[in-house]
Structure 1
Amino acid sequence: MRLPFSRRCRVMWGAATLVALAGCATPPPAAPPLEHIAPPAWIAPLPHAGSAVALADWWRAAGDATLTELIDAALQDNPSLIAAEARVAQARAQVGSQRAGLLPQVGAAASASRGNAGGVGSTPPGVDPPVATTLQAGVQASWEIDLFGRQRALVNAASARAEGAQALAHLARVALVGDVASTYHGLRLCQALLDTARQDVASRFETARLALISRDAGFTAPATAALADASAADGRARTTQQQAACDVQRKALVALTGLPEPDIEQKMAVAQVQQAPAALFSIASLPADTLRQRPDVWAAEREVLAARAEIVSADAARWPGLSLGGNIGVLQLRAGGATRDFSTWQFGPLQLSLPIFDGGRIAAGQAAARARYDEAVANYQGRVRQAVQEVETALTQGAAARAREADARAAVGGYRQQFAATEALYRQGMANLPQLEEARRTLLVSEITLAQLLNDQQAAGVALYRAAGGGWQAPAGGAAP
């Protein structure tokens, strides 16, 4: 017995519902919130003198116009930033592509032909067959109805990845600013060491000159004069090596900013403004609040959301699919002065597909989606841990550098007095050259240590800027996984 059409539809719909209920799978739980992953408080001391300077533009408040000019130049038409924005555009285009799957697909085609309309035996012998013109046009439409949200889940996944790409674009900006600042401070350190080396080599050559005069007068042994010459040569070699290191640093700054090297050299010739050792910005006292400003943590959260949505899409592949089609065709045949119209239209079919046996393809897709979700959650947790480590490391290094500065300055002052006293005794003949050179080396090491310590303070500030997210703010309304 054949059931009526309406009864058959109800039967098919009931079967689809049963299959859907049987194949329905609960998506995995969301990833744990930041408060459950991050520590309750920072272990390293926070910058006690940090001000409320906007972290995104912290370098503008640093009082160093050269650094500001270099960073502004680097942020213009930088290849890494352009590539990051291109990735954002790709992610947004993917969202549009997935949304197109929710809408009907309509296509059109048209054709025209002219030829012999007759066939063998269709016309009397000796009579030419008529020439016919055929004009044909048609519109076809299809729509896969998203009954169980498979396509909507793919749209959600693409949207989450687009948000993550936007956050990573800001991360590229933070990385570029940090690289420029680190290279700039490194070049300033190199210049300071080069100035120290030049002053040291000038002192060595003066000592060598006096030793040569004393040797010629018979007051100094030739070996002592040779030692003075060797010390001067060693100082000159160190100066040459330091100059080469500064040239390399300057070329790295050229690559980051895109400015010509003579412009960089001119800007770096300006004396650096001495900055206070305290931090120029403060960070949130709670680790979770700080980590929410990390674009890479946000992007990892978006990837968890995307993977979770893909699980929903993979599960929906087990459920029935409903599609609807239709077409309109226009066909005209002109032959022998007559025109005939063969236009047609069709609505349907309304097709219901039920996956019964696919060799395990759908199950494998579900397993792969859940594995990607587990990977995304693990990456998210690992990213949070790495972020905590980076902030703690930057805080520790900054606190240690600030705590050592007073002792380092005191050491330089003491060793400078010792060298001056030893040099005076040497010129009076009351100290020998090895004693003078020992005092010189000790002073040189202490001056290099102080210069590196001041650079460590700057490097810790840049590292904290990176670790705190560079002033990025999560978009309003973004849900955490």
Structure 2
Amino acid sequence: MKKITWLALTCITALLGACADMGNIKPQSRQMDANTLDGGKQLASSSAAIAAQWPQLEWWHAYGDPQLDMLIATALADNPSLHIAEARVRQAQAFAGMAESATLPTVGASTSMTRQLFSEHDFIPPPEAGNYAWYNRVAVEATYDLDLWGKQRQALAAALDEVKVAAAESQMARLALENNIVRSYVQLSLQFALKDIVEDTLSHREKSLHVMRQRLAAGLATEVDVTQLEAAVPPLHMQIEQHEESITLLRNQLAALTGKGRAAGEKIALPTLALNSNTWLQLPTSLPADLIGRRPDVAARRWGVEVAAKKIEVAKASFYPNINLMAFVGFQSIGFSRFLNSESAIRGIGPAISLPIFDGGRLRSNLGAHTAEYDIAVESYNGTLIHALENVASTLIVAQSLQQQKNLNDGALATAGRARMLASKGFAAGMTDFLVLLNSEVALLTQQQQQAQITARMMESHAALMLALGGGYSPEQVESSAAATSSQTQNTRGKQP
């Protein structure tokens, strides 16, 4: 028994010594630690005041618009791009099932019936030697890769991580779709608001024109005065038409995003968006480290690094001997008379060993390619992490600036409104020149448009910040997806042929 053990160890040592040389191929990139990134004073001050919560999965409910909720629900059910992303998750799950099957025994059946001329100088004796006869074989065969170096296990682990990558990318597609709908919807709300402002200005201007015509009839004004007021009306009609065009285009865009035709866009009514709280301007206290788990793009790149690392291990395992255990049982005979008799039974078991020794550098090139792939994945992760932190900081700076702009514009808007009211009263009483009235209307129109635009930009900033923070994404979503894939493939073990 000891001789057999020493013989086995000697054989294994010899096999390992004869393996192809890996060379000095190693990864060159290093994965960045998110905790070492300094978010700067802006992020520090924004997260220190209030321990804000991470976004909820249905973050757009903060706008309080049921129509927006319905549009996003429809898009999540019918958008083709999202369906493509979901199909890629299912594809990755199927590949994981294929990878797991390589770690399990395979059993198959084969049969062959061949009429052939047997050689007179082979191991087949007369009367078959030198004559035609049937050579028949039926057997059940089993093979099992012992996977002594973990090649199949690492391939399976990489495939399961690919499921996580696909699930995170699917969430990226979902979040991008939600964000695009919100932004388009905000722009639709803005166009409605601008159109209302211009219509209100037009209404006041037409009233002023009516008063001026009455003065002309009474001999208190000239044709020049009336003509100047009349010339100020058509540009307002043109602005209204431009806003109508934008409204129609945005409705069509929203219909396309929800996976519907133009008729669905025509049914979209006036938005009723409102952000009643400014707490979203504060950040969670756990930045930037939690961005690794909270942003689907960062999570996808991180799992991409894990996939690349496991593929390196698969490439390294290819340098070692591949040992499969093979077994068969069945019947084999010449002719049919004794084909299924017990005397024709066959059975056997043994290892099949393949050993890489010299392959022209193919294995080293394969290892080098996967090592470079790992370096690419690491640098992609590092770049995505840096961009994520910069994205959060930039979005927050814009949002906080817009809040200050709104506060400043509130005072200017109130002053402009009071100026037009006084000018309107003075013009109606004949105490104010019509140019003063026109100037007051232009000033108010400008302030109202700025107010509407600032409000829209603040809502867009809210959507951008939700996107930057991951939009309610949770790593548990992809963990459960990968676990479901593993469970599904395990349930198919008993169903293999």
Q: Same fold (TM over 0.5)?
A: yes
Higher mean Cα deviation, 365-374 or 50-59? 50-59
Query: Contact 1:146 / 1:322 at 8 angstroms: preserved in 2?
Result: yes
Deviation track 1:151-200 (CA, whole Å, cap 9, x = no partner) reads: 22222211111112112222222222222222222211111111111111
**2:492 alignment partner in structure 1:** none
**Residue 193 of structure 1 aligns with which residue?**
194
Following superposition of structure 1 onto structure 2, how do residues 43-442 of structure 1 map, counting pairs within 5 Å?
43=43, 45-46=45-46, 52=53, 55-111=56-112, 136-215=137-216, 217-258=218-259, 268-269=269-270, 272=272, 274-280=274-280, 283-291=283-291, 292-331=293-332, 338-340=337-339, 342-348=344-350, 350-442=351-443
Gaps of 5+ in 1: 120-129
1:447 aligned partner = 448
Separation of aligned partners in 1, 2:354 and 2:136: 36
Structure 1 residue 22 displacement after superposition: 6.5
In the TM superposition, what is the alpha-carbon distance from 1:347 to its structure 2 partner?
2.4
TM-score (norm 1): 0.84
Change (3 A) 1:477 1:295: closer
Change beyond 3 A, Cα 1:230–1:310: same
Q: Are the structure 2 counterparts of residues 333 and 472 from structure 1 closer, same or farther at C-alpha, using a change threshold of 3 Å?
A: same
Contact between 1:283 and 1:468, CA under 8 Å: does it hold in 2? no
- The residue number in structure 2 matching 1:123 is none
Give the superposition deviation at 1:462.
Answer: 0.8
Aligned pair in 2 of structure 1 residues 287, 109: CA closer, same or farther (>3 Å)? Answer: same
What percent of counterpart residues are identical? 25
CA distance in 2, matches of 1:383, 1:52: 23
Work out the CA distance in 2 between the residues paired with 1:340 and 1:305: 54
The one-letter code of the counterpart of 2:46 is L
User: CA contact under 8 A between 1:201 and 1:239: conserved in structure 2?
Assistant: no
**One-letter identity of the residue aligned with 1:203:** H
- Distance in 2 (alpha carbons) for counterparts of 1:426 and 1:191: 30
Judge conservation of contact 1:294–1:472 (CA < 8 Å) in 2: yes
Residue 36 (str. 1) matches residue 36 (str. 2): yes
Give the equivalent residue in structure 2 for 1:15: 14
Q: 2:476 and 2:359 mapped to 1: Cα distance?
A: 42
Structure 2 vs 1, CA of residues 412 and 40 (structure 1 numbering), >3 Å: closer, same or farther? closer
Letter in 1 for 2:382: Q
After alignment, is 419-428 or 407-416 more displaced?
Answer: 419-428
Residue 210 to residue 262, structure 1, CA distance change in 2 (3 Å) = farther
Residue 273 of structure 1: how far off its partner (Å): 5.8
> Aligned to 1:46, what secondary structure does the other structure show?
helix
Deviation at 1:132, TM superposition (A): 8.5
Distance in 2, Cα, partners of 1:74 & 1:329: 58
Return the offset for 1:135. 5.8
Unaligned runs of 5+ in 2: 120-130, 480-497
- Decide whether the 8 Å contact of 1:110 with 1:137 is kept in 2: yes
CA contact (8 A) 2:54 2:284 kept: no
How far, CA to CA, are the matches of 1:27 and 1:472 in structure 2?
Answer: 34
Q: Report the alpha carbon displacement of residue 35 of structure 1 after superposing the two structures with TM.
A: 1.0
Q: Describe the superposition over 1:344-372 as per-residue Cα deviations: whole angstroms up to 9, x where unpaired.
A: 33323x23333222111111111111111
CA distance in 2, matches of 1:146, 1:25: 24
Change (3 A) 1:117 1:277: closer
Distance change (3 Å), C-alpha of 1:445 and 1:277: farther
Q: Contact 2:192–2:270 (CA<8 Å) still a contact in 1? A: no
- 1:9-39 residue CA offsets vs partner (Å, 9 max, x unmatched): 5433111233569649796586233212453
Q: Does the aligned pair in 2 maintain the 1:284–1:290 contact within 8 Å?
A: no
Q: Distance in 1 between matches of 2:356 and 2:331?
A: 36
Query: 1:31, 1:101 → 2: CA distance?
Result: 31
Q: Which moved more, 1:217-226 or 1:167-176?
A: 217-226
Gap change, CA 1:118 and 1:452, over 3 Å in 2: closer
Residue by residue over 1:275-325, the C-alpha shift from the partner in whole angstroms, topping out at 9 and shown as x without a partner, is 325135854223234403111111111011111111111122222222333
The CA deviation string for residues 453-480 of structure 1, in whole angstroms up to 9 with x for no partner, is 11122111111111111122223997xx
User: Structure 1 pair 49/440, CA: closer, same or farther in 2 (3 Å)?
Assistant: farther
Amino acid of the structure 1 residue aligned with 2:349:
F
Over 3 Å counting, the alpha-carbon distance change for 1:236 and 1:45 in structure 2 is: farther
- 1:10 and 1:94 map into 2 onto residues whose CA distance is 36
- Superposed CA RMSD in Å reads 3.4
- Structure 1 window deviating more from structure 2 (321-330 vs 144-153): it is 321-330
Relative to structure 1, the CA distance from residue 141 to residue 300 in structure 2 (aligned partners, 3 Å threshold; closer, same or farther) is: same
TM-score of the superposed pair, with normalisation by structure 2? 0.81
Q: Is the 8 A contact 1:91 1:161 kept in 2?
A: yes
Equivalent pair of 2:251/2:268 in contact (CA under 8 Å): no
Return the alpha-carbon distance in structure 1 between the equivalents of residues 465 and 242 of structure 2. Answer: 31
SS at match of 1:288: coil
Asked whether the equivalents of residues 61 and 280 of structure 1 are also in contact (C-alpha less than 8 Å), the reply is no
